[in-house]
Each structure stands twice: as C-alpha cells, then as structure tokens.
Amino acid sequence: MSGRTLSDISFLVFSSLPLEFAKWSQCQRLLTAQKIVLLALFVFGIPTVVNSEENYPANDERLGERQEMVSHLRKYGYGMIKVVDPRVIQAMLAVPRHRFVPAKSQRLAYADTPLPIGHGQTISQPYIVALMSQLADIEPGMRVLEIGTGSGYQGAILFELTDEVYTMEIVTPLAKRTSALFKTLELDGIQMIEGDGYFGWPGDLEFDRILVTAAAAHIPPPLLKQLKPDGIMVIPVGPRWGNQQLMIVRKDQEGKKSTQSLLPVRFVPLTGGKQ
Amino acid sequence: MNNADTRLPAGTVLAIVSAGILSFEICLTRIFSIQHWHHLSAGIIALVLLGFGSSASIMAVFAPFFSRYYRLAGWLFIFLFLISIPLSMQVANSIPFNMLALPWQLEQLGYLAAIVLCFLTPFFFGGAYIALIFMQMSHVFGRLYAVDLLGAATGICLVLLLLESGSLENAILLSMTLAGLGLCMQSNHWPQRLLSGVVALCLIYCSWQFKLINVYANDFKELPVQLAQQKARLEWQRDSSNARLSLVSSPAQHSAPGLSINSVANLPDQWHLFADGDSRQALLANVTNFNALRESLLFAPYLIASRRPNVVVLPSNQHWNAWTAIAAGAERVDLISDNRDYLKLFTTPNAIFDQFRLPELVEGRVSNPRAFFERGHEKYDLIVQHISNYQYGGASQQINYGVTREALRQMWRKLTPSGVIGIFVRQSEQPREQLKIISTLAAALGSELGQLSHHLIVLRDWNTSAILVTKSPLQDTHISHIKAWSKRWAFDIDALPGLSAADTNKFHVKPDNLAFHAIQALLEDGAGYQSNYLYQIQPATDDQPFFHHFFRWQSLPQILEQTGERWPLFVGWGYLLSLACLAVMLVLAWLLILLPLCRQPLRQAVSGNTLACIRYFACLGLGFMLVEMQFIFLFRRILDTATLAFAAVILGMLIGTGTGSFLVHRFKIRSDYLKWFYLCLALMVLLISHGIELFIDLTNEWSISMRFGLVAIVTLTPAILMGLFLPIGIRLVRTAGPGVTAWAWGINGFASVAGVMLTPLLAIHFGFTTIMLVALCSYLLAVLSLPKSLGVNT
C-alpha cells in the first residue's frame, strides 16, 4: 500500500470526526485497522514524506525521544482528535524538534508542551503542530503559506509534506534567528520573509493551504482573498499557553466561506442538550 | 527596659516605617498587575501578612536575644527592609515565572514559590521591626499599635496620591524614602543619623539611577510581543492607581472585533492601548469609512434598537463601540469607565490625542456601571457591555457586578420601552459564560417578561456571542431583519423566536451545536438544566456575583475521564490554585505558630492556655480580615472605582482600629466589657451590610469626595470596636514573657492571611452574607475564649 492511499483512508476517517463525533465508536474500528497498517509502514520504513532524507540525518541521538513523542501523540485518550495521517506522523518523526528549541529548554524539547522561544512567543505543543498539519490535509505539490514562522518547527514539518512552503514572521529578532536556522539546516526551499502576515504574501500568489500559527482576533480578509477556491485555512484559537482549540476556515468553489471549530476534547452536557 | 525607649521617637519611627511598608504593599499590587496578572495582586495582602506572621514567630523564638540588642536590631531590620525593596524586585525579574504555563510545567510552581519568597523578604524585615517594637514596649502596646496603624494609613494616602500623579517608580521611591527616614531616626546620635542618612540616600539614588526599581511587563504579555514587531513604538504611557496604560503605534495593528468572514472592508488606522501590558484594545484614527464597523457582530444590537438611539457603553473596547454607535446613527453615546486617564485619551473637550478624538455626541463618564445607573436619571435605547473570560491565574475569582440579577434589573429600568441590552462574551470551549448570563437574565427579568424566549436573540461568530434582550417582545420585522443580516454576514443564530435546529450552526460550525441545544434547554427548564449542567451556570446575584468560575466538583469525574492530563485547563485552574495555596498556607501557618513553642520559656509562659491563645488571636485575625474584605467588595458599589473603595475602606479600618487601640491604652478598658463591644460590633456590621442599598440611595447625588468620606466614616465606626480586641488580648498575655506579644501578633497575622484567601472562595460558594456571618462567629468565639483562658496568666 502506498503512503498516498493510506493518507486518503486516514483523511476519510478523520474528516468525519469533527462533525460526527457521535460516530466515534465506528471510527475506532477503522482506526484499529489503520494502526496495524501504520505499524507495518514504520517497520518497513516506506518513505511517505518529501524532504526528510535530504535535510536531516536518518538517525540522531534524540530519535528515541522523538519516537516516544509520536507514540504519545497517537495514544491521546478518549475524545481527543487522534493524529493518524501517516505522512504527518512520518514528518514528526523526521524533523528534529530539539533543533528548533532554545538551549535552555532542550530538556523539554520532546515533551508535549508549548515552550518559550523568546519575545513572548512559543514553539507550539507537538500535538497542536501535528493536528494542524493533519487538518490542512496537504498533498505534495500544494502551495502552503504559514503566518507566524516563530521557531520554524511548523514550517519544517510543512516542508516535509510539500515543496512549496512560504512563511512570514513579524517579530524581527525571531525572523532573523529562524532564517539563519533554516540556512543551517539547509531548508533553503522554504521561502521566508519578515513581514506583517495580516496582508498575506506580497504579490498575487494564491495558496491551497494557509496555516496561521498565531491566535487571531479575527480572520484577516486579505488572507482569505489569497486562499484558493476549495482551500483550507487552519487557525489556533485561544491563549497560546492555554487550552487551544483549532479552527478550519474553508472557501468553496463559489468563494463562500465557513469556519469549523474543533475541540481537542469533547464534552457532552449531563442532561438536556443533544447527546 | 530603658525608660528612654518609650519616648515619642520610637512611635514616630514605627509610624514612618509602617507608612513605608504599606506604601510598598500598594506598589506591589501594581507591580504584580503589570509584570504578571492583576488576579495575582489580590494575594499581596496575604503575602504581607505572611511576612508579618513569620517574622513575629521568629522574633518570639529569639525574644531574649533581640531584646538585648534592641536598638541595633531595629536599625538592622529597617536597613534590610530598605535594601530588600530593590533587591527583591531585581531577583523577581530574573525568575522566569509564567502564570500561563502553570498547568503545563510543574517547575512554574517552583518559580511561583520563588517569587512569593522574594517579595516576602521586605515584609518579613518590616514586620520584624514592628514585632520588635511591640515586644520591647508591650506595656504601651495600645498606643504603639495605634501609631502603627495611623502611620500605615498615611502611607496609603501618600502612595495613592503619587500613583495618581503618573509614575509607579516614584511611588516605589516614596516607600524607600520613608524607610530611609526611619533608618535615620532609629539611630541614637547625630553622627550615626548622618551615616544612616548617607547610606539610605546612596541606596535610593542607586535604585533610581540604575533603574533597579523600574517595572516592565513580562515577555509573555501582549505589550512586549507587540513592541517586538516591526516599527512598533511606545507612544504614551501613564500609571494610575487603577492601571498602567500604554499606547503603541505600529503598522501591524489590525484589530476588528467580530468582523464578518464575508467582509472585505478596509480597517480604520489604529493604535493599540494596553492596560497593565495586556487587554489590548484599538483606538481608531480618523474614521471615515464605517463598513468594517457595520459588518461586525458588534453592530447586531443596532439592527433592533431605535433609529437614532441613545447608547450607553460599559467598560471594554469602548472606542470601537463608540464608533459603531456613531456608524449606526446614534444621537448620544455615554462611555462609562472608572479610569479617568483612559477616557481622557479620546473624549472631548481635551482629548490627549487629536486623531482619536470622538465627536461631541460621545461623552465620557468616570464611574463604575452600577454607580452610574444608580445615580443617573436618563433612559437609554441601548446598553452595551462586554464580559471578558479570563483563562489564567486567579481569574476565577474576578468579580463582575455588571451581570448580576440586581444589576440587570437596574439596567432594565433605565431602558426606553423599545430598548435593548446587548451583552458580548467570548465563547469558551464549551458554552458556559453565555449560559450563565442567560440564566441570570431569566432570574432577573423572568417575572416582568413572562417568556424570555420572546425577547432573546443570541448571535455568534466563531469567537464571540452576542446576547440581545429587548424590552418589548420581538416583532416579525425584527426577526426577519436579523435573519437576513446574519445570513448576509455569515453569523450563526443560537436563539431567536421560532428558530429550529436546521437554521443553526451553518457558518461557524461547532461540534454538536451545543450552544443552541443548551440555550433551548435552559429556556425550557432553567433550574433543572442549571443543576445538572457540567459547569456552574446558576444565576449571579449581588450576594454571589458573576465570578469567572464555572467548575463543579460533581463534574470532576467526567472531566477527568474525558480530558486526561489536560484536566486542569478545563476546570479553571486558578480556583484549584487558590485552594492549594490556602491548604499550603494553613500548614505553614500552623508550623510557624507552633515553632516558638519549641522554646521552653514561651511554652511555660502560655502553659495550659496555648490553645486558648491561638484561638483568641486567630479568631480576631480571621474575623477582622473577613469584615475588611467584605466592606471592600460592598463599597465598590458606592465608590466609582475598585481602587477608591479599597483606599476608603482600608483608611477607615486603619484609623478606626488605631483609635480603638489608643482608647484601650488611654482608658484602660477592661476585658469583661468585650462581650458588649461584640454585640455593638455585630449590630453595626449587620446594619452596614444590610443597609448598603440605603447608603446608595442616600449618596446618589453626592460628589465623589463626599462619598469617599462617608465610606471611610462608615467603616471607621465598627473598626474602632474591632481595634479594642487585640490590645486587650495583648495586655492580658504580655506579662507572661517577652516573646508572647510577638507570638500573639504573629498568630493574628497568620489568621488574617487565611481570611484573605478564604474570602473569595467563601463568596464563590456561599455568598457574601455567609462571609459576614463567619466573621461575626469568629469574633464571638474570640470573646468566649478570652475570660476562661488568657486571664489566668495575668
């Protein structure tokens, strides 16, 4: 089975989750089958990502921690949206998160927690990074824009999924630091500029996917304009240190827009309300 | 003891040092608000009392030693207090404490403890000096305690005046100057005084010159993040006793609350205003195009309000709201804020920034919303208010009196027959804030409206809910207008007469459409739904106001099952933190109370009366603090700002208690009168807490200074009685040994800490009436403890 086919299956399974949580138990059966396939995929090492072999060594001293982190993400408990896309999982395994984490937080580089990277910004929790990448449903060749480069980790994950990654950072010192890091890691394919992401990428480019990694107070109209028809935008909602939700903004073929909020955790009122 | 020790200078130094300590306490509330979160600043009173209590315990342990070197020890304590002000600020700055990361990173608990220890230091040394004086001159305790409290009251007045003049750093310098003055006066001879003066001056100068006492917002707050952006500039900054306001200009400012996803409007130019380095809001410059304002959820109330409405906007995002009202063709707009500096930025006639000046139809009113409605006679077509939902710190204990049952009734009376109340609230992961507001609306207006559902509209985007209540039943034209507008701008409807599930959750899809179903259930079976819901959504009242607290213990198993290790995020961890702090504090207090008893002289001195001593002084501390906190909360309704209420009550309490203490010293009041004093006290406290509405009616037309004076006098009267209890108790025990005075004072301090921490928790669970009853019970227990036990030793 190729990675692409598997990705299709996982997306089919996954895309039903946010709206149809009640079908969770049915999904579980599918997921169990999928776990077996994924396990086989790891064992036989079938490549499913775009750039990892070129940019990162196949093995490094913290690979074990990374595997543990990914294993932890996949074990999230009842009600949590699972990270099941094999390409995303492979990307999370391939990208050495510790290279994007400041020296003083190295110990926690693979903990499932946001970490400070200076200037009040954070490198997002791995679960949120994986989930955003999965929700964006990125196929190779898609043009992806990331608003808020930050540490560069999310950008590097996206670069594992497609060759066309554009990223913008407004905080000058962060932009300089991450640009240098991209050079060091030879991630030259990532197009990075320092600038105000509110207005999107300068020029007339349109994007298949847009990931806004900084929580937004409203959805910027100029960004929506740069989203192609049938495009998807993923935005975290809520405090960056707190309980972040994710939101998907869709633009259909006719240009109609809608949002869909996803809860990492599902609650049901004890009485009343629809169960 | 040397007779010279009882001369006035000892009392004068005590008063000056007390003024320094209390002024730094007030400064510290501002420091915490700016560097961390204002929710933490409520714990400063507890921190100060903890410092006092722990120093008193240590003094009690080493009483003979400190008695021997009394002069030198006094000088040393004042010096350490002085130097620990800049040092504690510097060390605290280097601690990477981030309140927001507390549920994620356990080490943050360690950092929090380090910050507490850091700022405990000045109060420990300041408290040690006070305890030393009390211990050394316990025969004139009543007089000294009076001087101590009057000095503290003076310190508060001075620091508030300085804070209002615009700089927190100057206020901190005042604390250091008072400590320096105390240091000089503590010295015996002129050469020593000169040397002390030089030392103090050097310390103060270095702190100012090297910016050791400058206060900055921490990296994780919004202000530093914005200032790190391209071309961002701090344009203006001003401190007050309320907040530090910072105005930032940057080309990357694009605030548009509630903007529709279908909008393509250009946003007005704007600068961003931050309060205490956070709570960003936009100030709009030279607005000529109203499209962005009309295509926002915040415009919704104007669709059903009168054609040229008179609007009142309660605090939060007022500049944007004022422009929205202007865009809707409002005839008059009143902006209500308790922050004068904030309104001065953009309201006529003397707006500081011309580009933000609002048209003359907008008027700024300095007041809190309750006081404004209680005093005003105008009727409004629209009342707009925003409710913040904090998710960090001790935010669960933040009180909002604007959405209580009584407040909503009051607003209702101020509405014209076609008037509308519009309440905006940010949505949480699960519906809870909006449900609590609807519950409160039903409780407040149910009897007048019949069916709330005929008057209620709830709209939302992905982030914010707009709850609109109309005085008249909704007409078909209103309903069709709202439906068309919502569809045009892609807003979802959660409540509207005749709405079906199929009409909802279309543009901003939420899992399970929970808000719609919950609101329907709430409107059908309010009490039943409230009592079974996952979160606490009971109606808020003035007795149990709107706290940002929704956690219910009975929901814990379900939350644990469904959220795993992320559970603290879903229960409002500020509440859990408060409980944990209270538990730690109680253990620590017990240990520190018992510590002096390890020494034989003290143990023998109180032998047979230990528990009675602890009970008496602990009950006094707890009762005093509960009454004080209750008054602060109550009188916020009479005075325009929380800070004024705090200042008036503390001033009244300190002067009253000081006077009571002096009366004990002057007239040698006997302990067997205490039961009569208690009866008077109970009567007064009950009268004040139940007569608050009368005070409000009485003072409706009064000026702010007259109301401030009234509150101070009203609190002063029971405080005089409360001030009798401690000196009488001390007089009974002081002869048992040199350390007993310090020990008793320490017990009183520890119990006061518990009182500070307990007050919000009691208010959340049981309401303010319960706090008052617990306070009176505490005093009663103290009175019952006194004759049986303490008298034996005298």
**pLDDT per residue over A235-274, tens digit each?**
887 666 666 678 999 999 998 999 998 866 655 554 433 3
pLDDT band at B442 (very low <50, low <70, confident <90, very high): very high
**Residues B557 and B410 reside in one and the same domain:** no
**Residues B532 and B610 reside in one and the same domain:** no
End-of-domain residue from the set B531, B548, B565: B548
**Residues B543 and B559 reside in one and the same domain:** no
Interface test with A, best of B39, B102, B512 (most A CBs within 10 A): B512
Distance CA B49, CA B46 (A): 5
Residue carrying structure tokens 């950008």: A155
**Residues B508 and B596 reside in one and the same domain:** no
**Residues B544 and B589 reside in one and the same domain:** no
What pLDDT does residue B633 have? 81
Output the CA–CA distances (angstroms, integers) from residue A42 to A34, A37, A67, A126, B634, in the order listed: 12, 9, 11, 19, 65
What pLDDT does residue B290 have? 95
What pLDDT does residue B395 have? 56
DSSP state for residue B187 in the 8-state scheme = S
Under an 8 A CB cutoff, do A264 and B566 touch?
yes
Tell me the three state secondary structure of residue B206.
helix
Q: For residue A195, what is the nearest residue in chain B, using CA coordinates?
A: B230
The runs of H, that is alpha helices, within B288-425 are: 291-294, 300-304, 318-327, 340-344, 369-375, 405-413
What pLDDT does residue A161 have? 96
Under an 8 A CB cutoff, do A78 and B566 touch?
no
Q: For residue A173, what is the nearest residue in chain B, using CA coordinates?
A: B228
Q: Is the dihedral of CA B299, B305, B310, B313 positive or negative?
A: negative
**Segment B522-535, tens digit of pLDDT:** 999 888 999 989 89
In terms of DSSP bridges, do strands B310-313 and B278-285 run parallel, antiparallel, or are they unpaired? unpaired
> Which has the closest alpha carbon to B422: B364, B471, B466, B488?
B466
Better-predicted residue by pLDDT, A269 or B130: B130
Please tell me the least confidently modeled range out of A226-235, B2-11, B55-64, B780-789. B2-11
Average pLDDT over residues B231-260: 90
Under an 8 A CB cutoff, do A243 and B221 touch?
no
**Residues B557 and B506 reside in one and the same domain:** no
Q: Which are the contacts of B142, defined by CB distance < 8 A and separation ≥ 6?
A: B661, B662, B663, B664, B665, B666, B727, B730, B731
The pLDDT > 90 percentage for chain A reads 46
Tell me, yes or no, whether B225 lies in a domain.
no
Tell me, yes or no, whether B262 lies in a domain.
no
The runs of H, that is alpha helices, within A22-169 are: 24-44, 52-55, 63-74, 86-94, 126-136, 153-161
Number of domains in chain B: 3
pLDDT at B773 over 50: yes
Distance CA B519, CA B468 (A): 13
pLDDT at A33 over 70: no
Under an 8 A CB cutoff, do B510 and A261 touch?
yes
Estimate the crossing angle of helix B190-209 against helix B70-94, to 10 degrees: 0
What pLDDT does residue B211 have? 93
Which backbone phi and psi does A258 adopt, to 5 degrees?
Answer: -150, 160
pLDDT at B247 over 80: yes
Tell me the three state secondary structure of residue A121.
strand
| B 201-230 → A contacts, CB under 8 A | 219-222, 224-225, 228-230
Output the CA–CA distances (angstroms, integers) from residue B100 to A115, A148, B279, in the order listed: 11, 20, 15
**Residues B535 and B670 reside in one and the same domain:** no
**Residues B479 and B498 reside in one and the same domain:** yes
ipTM given for this complex:
0.81
Tell me, yes or no, whether B421 lies in a domain.
yes
For residue B454 the two structure tokens come to 């005929």
Distance CA B316, CA B298 (A): 12
pLDDT band at B5 (very low <50, low <70, confident <90, very high): very low
Tell me, yes or no, whether B265 lies in a domain.
no
Closest approach of A142 to chain B, Cα-based (Å): 24
Report how far Cα A262 is from the mean position of its chain's Cα atoms. 14
Estimate the crossing angle of helix B433-449 against helix B514-524, to 10 degrees: 30
End-of-domain residue from the set B517, B548, B579: B548
Under an 8 A CB cutoff, do A239 and B392 touch?
yes
Please tell me the least confidently modeled range out of A192-196, A208-212, A236-240, B369-373. A236-240
Confirm if B713 and B774 have CB atoms less than 8 A apart: no
Q: Which domain holds residue B375?
A: 299-548
What pLDDT does residue B167 have? 85
Q: Which are the contacts of B696, defined by CB distance < 8 A and separation ≥ 6?
A: B371, B374, B637, B638
Rg (CA), chain A: 18
Under an 8 A CB cutoff, do A114 and B533 touch?
no
For residue B699 the two structure tokens come to 């003072």
The β-bridge partners of A247 are A235, A261
Closest approach of B217 to chain A, Cα-based (Å): 11
Q: Is the dihedral of CA A19, A20, A21, A27 positive or negative?
A: negative
In terms of DSSP bridges, do strands B310-313 and B332-337 run parallel, antiparallel, or are they unpaired? parallel
Tell me, yes or no, whether B656 lies in a domain.
yes
The pLDDT > 90 percentage for chain B reads 54
Under an 8 A CB cutoff, do B514 and A269 touch?
yes
What pLDDT does residue A41 have? 46
**Helices and strands in chain A: count of H runs, count of E runs:** 9, 9
Tell me the three state secondary structure of residue A144.
strand
What pLDDT does residue A241 have? 63
Under an 8 A CB cutoff, do A259 and B462 touch?
yes
Burial of B262 (0-12, 13-18, 19+ CB in 10 A): middle
List the domain boundaries for chain A: 3-262
Output the CA–CA distances (angstroms, integers) from residue B458 to B39, B158, B474, B544, in the order listed: 30, 48, 13, 25
pLDDT band at A158 (very low <50, low <70, confident <90, very high): very high
H-run or E-run covering B763: helix B740-765
CB of A15 within 8 Å of any CB in chain B?
no
Type of residue numbered B51: G
Distance CA B727, CA B546 (A): 39
Q: Sort out which chain B residues have CB atoms less than 8 A from A267's CB and list them.
A: 429-430, 534, 558-559, 562, 570
CATH number, domain at B471?
3.40.50.150
Distance CA B527, CA B521 (A): 10
| B 453-512 → A contacts, CB under 8 A | 461-463, 490, 506-512
**Segment B710-767, tens digit of pLDDT:** 999 999 999 999 999 999 998 888 877 778 888 999 999 999 988 988 988 898 899 9
**Residues B130 and B79 reside in one and the same domain:** yes
What pLDDT does residue A42 have? 47
> Which has the closest alpha carbon to B14: B202, B219, B204, B152?
B152
Confirm if A36 and A72 have CB atoms less than 8 A apart: no
What pLDDT does residue A6 have? 36
Residue carrying structure tokens 């380090």: B114
Q: Sort out which chain A residues have CB atoms less than 8 A from B255's CB and list them.
A: 217-218
Closest approach of A6 to chain B, Cα-based (Å): 26
**Residues B328 and B195 reside in one and the same domain:** no
Of A7, A10, A52, A124, which residue is the catalytic one? A124
| Among the partner residues A242, A249, A274, nearest to B392 by beta-carbon distance | A242
**Segment B473-514, tens digit of pLDDT:** 999 999 999 999 999 999 999 999 999 999 999 999 998 899
DSSP state for residue A171 in the 8-state scheme = B
What pLDDT does residue B372 have? 86
Under an 8 A CB cutoff, do B261 and A77 touch?
no
What pLDDT does residue A78 have? 56
Q: Which are the contacts of B282, defined by CB distance < 8 A and separation ≥ 6?
A: B253, B255, B256, B270, B271, B272, B273, B317, B319, B320
Under an 8 A CB cutoff, do A242 and B259 touch?
no
What pLDDT does residue A25 have? 40
End-of-domain residue from the set B498, B532, B548: B548
Rg (CA), chain B: 28
What pLDDT does residue B571 have? 72
For residue B298 the two structure tokens come to 């915040």
Q: Sort out which chain B residues have CB atoms less than 8 A from A240's CB and list them.
A: 100
Confirm if A215 and A236 have CB atoms less than 8 A apart: yes
For residue A175 the two structure tokens come to 């932009």
pLDDT at A28 over 70: no
Better-predicted residue by pLDDT, A94 or B1: A94
Select the CATH number that applies to the domain covering A3-262 from these four: 3.40.50.720, 3.40.50.620, 3.40.50.150, 3.40.605.10: 3.40.50.150
Instruction: Compute the mean pLDDT over every residue in chain B, rounded to the nearest whole number.
Output: 88
Q: For residue A194, what is the nearest residue in chain B, using CA coordinates?
A: B230
| Among the partner residues A80, A173, A225, nearest to B228 by beta-carbon distance | A173
Tell me, yes or no, whether B254 lies in a domain.
no
Average pLDDT over residues A149-167: 96
CB of B104 within 8 Å of any CB in chain A?
yes
CB of A205 within 8 Å of any CB in chain B?
no
Distance CA A171, CA A79 (A): 36
Average pLDDT over residues A49-66: 73
Active site residue A2: no
Q: Of A119-123, B62-66, B160-164, B616-620, which one has max mean pLDDT?
A: B616-620
The pLDDT > 70 percentage for chain B reads 95
pLDDT band at B42 (very low <50, low <70, confident <90, very high): low
pLDDT at B692 over 90: no
**Residues B538 and B643 reside in one and the same domain:** no
Tell me, yes or no, whether B248 lies in a domain.
no
CB burial readout B379-405, b (16+ within 10 A) else e: ebbbbbbbbbebbbbbbbbbbbbbbbb
Please tell me the least confidently modeled range out of A127-131, A263-267, B148-152, B345-349. A263-267
Distance CA B240, CA B238 (A): 7
Under an 8 A CB cutoff, do A243 and B570 touch?
yes
Tell me, yes or no, whether B267 lies in a domain.
no
Output the CA–CA distances (angstroms, integers) from residue A31 to A73, A85, B637, B732, in the order listed: 14, 11, 57, 76
CB of B417 within 8 Å of any CB in chain A?
no
Report how far Cα B134 is from the mean position of its chain's Cα atoms. 31
**Residues B571 and B706 reside in one and the same domain:** yes
CB of B254 within 8 Å of any CB in chain A?
yes
